[in-house]
């Protein structure tokens, strides 16, 4: 690794740490910045190689721990965002020579002139496996952090109730109502947290790829996301297993909800990609996309519809006969 790459990786790690530091220091206004913390790691990995991404991930965790004086803050960033970003960036950069039918030298025409020195055609790591890996890493990260930080409903409920009492609407709620709201919030944490983490990593990867591409540092050609974004059949098996596990008693129920949250968001991305592909060429495409995303932001319920579309797309591709 050259010194210039090492400096860039260290700078990316420091930038990621600064974006995340506000959340560790309990600054409510810094939540949005913290969600952008994986972007510098992705940029380092996509533009300067996998080693640069790993170095940036390590530096980010060390800097957060040094700034905050809290080791768990560095662990939180490294496990939830930095390391998954470095791994996903490595997967996006993987490629091998195309050895499919018609690609071998026995089927190739004799090279003439500059074509003799042309680079071989490459097969890049499929996006469906990258999405699967991100969802899996988000689930594993949330499970690991829950164990490390000691997620316990009985212990956390009094803290949530106290926070509700200090809120502006505390006078309008009885103790039973506050207890019910606290129970509801805690029951949703294992489902929402991995979904948000999967969303954060996927959006950060998209933004980082766009930044790296316009700077001519991204070797991978641009993927057509609406047609290329799918999930492998294994993702459907994991998702269905997670849904079945939610009927088990805790803590198995919590683990199953984490899996459902992470892979449910991944299937939602697939469903949204199908919508983008189906609306191509329509004169009212911009209006349809605007209304859809506005409904998602305001109501949240349409996410479930696109999750079902993503699941249906995976089932349909499983039933499709393999190419001859």
| Structural domains counted in the chain | 1
- The answer, yes or no, to whether residue 104 has pLDDT greater than 50, is no
* 14 pLDDT more than 90: yes
Higher pLDDT, residue 321 or 41: 41
Residue 58 belongs to a domain: yes
Distance between CA atoms of 275 and 24, rounded to whole angstroms?
Answer: 37
**Residue 27 forms part of a structural domain:** yes
Strand partners, 123: 96
Q: Please tell me the distance from the alpha carbon of residue 212 to that of residue 284, in angstroms, as a whole number.
A: 31
Whether pLDDT at 62 is above 80: yes
78 found inside a domain:
yes
Interatomic CA distance for residues 302 and 268, integer angstroms: 10
Which tokens belong to 8? 């860039």
Q: How far is CA 35 from CA 74, 82, 85, 136, 188, in A?
A: 15, 11, 12, 19, 19
- Give yes or no for residue 117 having a pLDDT over 70: no
- The partner residues of 95 in beta bridges, in order of sequence, read 124
CB-based burial, 261-293: b 16+ in 10 Å, e otherwise: bbbbbbbbbbbbbbbbeebeeeeeeeeeeeebe
Rounded CA separation 236/320 (Å): 15
Q: Is the dihedral of CA 270, 276, 278, 284 positive or negative?
A: positive
Residue-level pLDDT at 110: 47
> Which domain covers residue 67, as residue numbers?
1-94
Does a structural domain hold residue 159?
no
Confirm whether pTM is higher than 0.75.
Answer: yes
Residue 253 neighbours by CB distance under 10 Å:
15
Listed in sequence order, the residues at least 6 apart from 70 whose beta carbon sits closer than 8 Å to its beta carbon are: 24
Does the pLDDT value for residue 67 go beyond 50?
yes
Rounded CA-CA distance 35/318 in Å is 34
Q: What angle do CA 14, 196, 263 make, to 5 degrees?
A: 120
How many other β-carbons are positioned within 10 Å of the β-carbon of residue 34?
Answer: 20
Tokens representing 100? Answer: 């499919």
Average of per-residue pLDDT across 132-149: 92
| pLDDT in the model for residue 32 | 77
315 located within any domain: no
Residue 47 lies in a domain: yes
Q: Is residue 239 part of a domain?
A: no
Residue 246 lies in a domain: no
3-state secondary structure of 126: coil
Say whether pLDDT at 89 is over 90: yes
Characterize 161-173 residue by residue with b for buried, 16 or more Cβ atoms within 10 angstroms of its Cβ, and e for exposed: beebeeeeeeeee
């Amino acid at each position: 690794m050259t010194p210039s790459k090492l400096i860039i990786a260290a700078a990316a790690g420091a930038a990621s740490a600064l974006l995340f530091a506000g959340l560790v220091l309990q600054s409510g206004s810094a939540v949005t910045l913290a969600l952008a913390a994986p972007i510098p790691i992705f940029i380092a990995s996509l533009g300067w190689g996998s080693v640069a991404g790993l170095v940036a991930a390590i530096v980010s965790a060390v800097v957060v721990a040094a700034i905050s004086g809290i080791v768990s803050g560095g662990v939180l960033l490294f496990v939830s965002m930095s390391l998954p970003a470095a791994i996903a960036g490595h997967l996006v950069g993987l490629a091998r020579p195309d050895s499919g039918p018609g690609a071998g030298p026995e089927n190739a025409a004799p090279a003439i002139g500059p074509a003799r020195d042309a680079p071989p055609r490459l097969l890049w790591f499929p996006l469906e496996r990258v999405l699967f890996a991100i969802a899996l890493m988000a689930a594993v990260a949330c499970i690991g952090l829950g164990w490390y930080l000691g997620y316990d409903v009985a212990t956390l409920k009094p803290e949530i109730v106290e926070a509700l009492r200090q809120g502006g609407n505390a006078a309008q709620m009885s103790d039973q109502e506050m207890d019910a709201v606290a129970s509801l919030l805690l029951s949703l944490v294992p489902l929402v947290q991995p979904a948000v983490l999967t969303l954060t990593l996927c959006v950060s990867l998209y933004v980082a790829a766009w930044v790296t591409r316009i700077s001519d540092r991204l070797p991978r050609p641009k993927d057509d996301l609406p047609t290329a974004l799918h999930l492998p059949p294994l993702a459907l098996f994991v998702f269905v297993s997670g849904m079945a596990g939610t009927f088990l008693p805790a803590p198995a129920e919590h683990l199953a909800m984490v899996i459902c949250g992470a892979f449910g968001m991944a299937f939602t991305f697939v469903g949204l990609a199908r919508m983008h592909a189906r609306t191509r060429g329509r004169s009212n495409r911009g209006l349809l996309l605007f209304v859809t995303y506005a409904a998602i932001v305001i109501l949240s319920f349409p996410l479930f519809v696109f999750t079902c579309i993503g699941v249906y797309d995976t089932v349909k591709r499983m039933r499709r006969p393999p190419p001859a």
